[in-house]
Structure 1
Amino acid sequence: MAKHILMVVTTARKMDQEHSTGLWLSEFAEPFIEFKKLGYEITVASPKGGKAPIDERSLGEIEQEILDTAVYLEDTVKLEDIESHEAYDAIFLPGGHGTMFDFPDNRKLQALIRDFYESNKVVAAVCHGPAGLVGVTLSDGTPLVKGKTVTSFTDEEERATTLDRFMPFMLETRLRELGAQFVAAEKWADHCEVDGKLITGQNPQSTVRVAQEVVKQLG
């Protein structure tokens, strides 16, 4: 049986009226390519469904293979149409600043992540993808990240982008407030943290490593 991955991407297009955002393409493409090569089935879903916006900042000097994956973002499945976690072996949350706006309060995403985690299935997120973790509480009411060793795009990195002023909150700070054991590496370092089935990566540079850890955990 082929492994089946649920990849959830943002559909938030704007940080404010003047500044666009979306998905950071390599954070979707690199895992997608890695999983496809291994014959995994992949379902791409998003909060609104349909076409997922790609952050133009992520379309600089990148390989054609990365660009080619954009076709899989043309018609994503609406999260509400994902019946349950049972058909999947792992959930993967790519980042992009858009996730800061439509992941944290999405109840369907929160429920799916909780169900994946409590079923001992892989939960992976990279860069701003861990924004999807901040609203997740386990069945006993505790935050999923409480006491867990995690990482994400750091406050230092956010300030370095100068986009911190548009963010609804600072992701590292929020994870720490929720009781996470947050580990930050140097800016733009390839950095991944693994706590059981919970896998998090710090930034775009960490994406391949997170994908490889997912593959390792799935055997």
Structure 2
Amino acid sequence: MSKILFVMTGADHWTLADGTPHPTGFWAEEAVAPYEAFKDAGHEIVVATPGGVVPPVDQGSLAAGANGGQENADRVAAALDSFTELRSPVKLEEVDLDEYAAVYYPGGHGPMEDLAVNTTSGRLLTDALDSGRPLGVVCHGPAALLAAERADGTNAFAGYRVSGFTNDEETQAGLADKARWLLQDRLVEAGVDFQEGEPWAPKVVVDRNLVTGQNPASSAPLAQELLKQLG
């Protein structure tokens, strides 16, 4: 079957407005739910990060409270342990997009720190969008879209319908008033048509080959939409 590229954060912290490093990384559910769906469908997964560093998991995403109870938290942790590709990522700077049938960006606050300003990732996103191959981005992953600028200075995703972690969700998570900037605000400023659903409820938005999800609960249905696009 096809190869699917997971582009993931290499950041283990998110710098808040007062300069404090907030421990973070990628959000476990947003990595393992699509991983399991793609593997079950017979696809090969390759992980890429800036510099090829091993992507750090946000420890908060392994807690019982973040997973609807300890039983599900244990299941997510076990699934993460079986995601062996996480331990041997390739360098994002060396990725050849032509080798992949689809591209997927999970979230967590990590992308707010590194992928939001990573021009290599920005070019990859632009090329993936223009190529027509399925492109999935979830939760805080759309922070990476902010680095996708065309030669004329416009954002490659301007005019696209996009969902992502909302201001309301950031407020309820307790970090909105501590952040340098909020994802929803920056995406709107970049010219995307931001689609906001109910906090914490699954919401997936499809606009051409771009599939975006609002929050962790959106990652599994987003994966199913990507599989549909892959045919």
TM range (shorter): over 0.9
User: 1:140: Cα distance to partner?
Assistant: 5.9
| Pair 1:91 & 2:103 matched | yes
**Does the 8 A contact of 1:15 with 1:166 survive in 2?**
no
Question: Where do 1:190-205 residues align within 5 Å?
Answer: 190-205=202-217
Aligned residue among 40, 47, 56 for 2:43: 40
Deviates more, 1:87-96 or 1:48-57: 48-57
**Does the 8 A contact of 1:31 with 1:207 survive in 2?**
yes
User: 1:48: Cα distance to partner?
Assistant: 2.7
Report the residue type matching 1:48 in the other structure. G
Report the residue type matching 1:90 in the other structure. A
User: 1:121: Cα distance to partner?
Assistant: 1.1
The match for 2:8 is 9
Aligned residues: 217
The match for 1:24 is 27
Report the residue type matching 2:94 in the other structure. D
| 2-structure distance, mates of 1:166, 1:106 | 23
Question: Where do 1:66-215 residues align within 5 Å?
Answer: 66-82=79-95, 84-138=96-150, 141-215=153-227
Distance 1:66 1:140, change over 3 A: same
Please, what TM-score do these two structures have when normalized by structure 2?
0.88
| 1-structure distance, mates of 2:130, 2:146 | 16
User: 1:108: Cα distance to partner?
Assistant: 0.9
**Does the 8 A contact of 2:51 with 2:91 survive in 1?**
yes
**Does the 8 A contact of 1:24 with 1:94 survive in 2?**
yes
Please, what TM-score do these two structures have when normalized by structure 1?
0.93
Matched residue SS, 1:19: strand
User: 1:10: Cα distance to partner?
Assistant: 0.7
| 1-structure distance, mates of 2:12, 2:107 | 13
What is the RMSD of the two structures over their aligned residues, measured on CA atoms?
1.6
Report the residue type matching 1:76 in the other structure. P
The match for 1:52 is 55
Distance 1:135 1:66, change over 3 A: same
More helix by share: 2
Matched residue SS, 1:206: helix
> Unpaired runs of 5+ in structure 1?
none
| 2-structure distance, mates of 1:19, 1:151 | 24
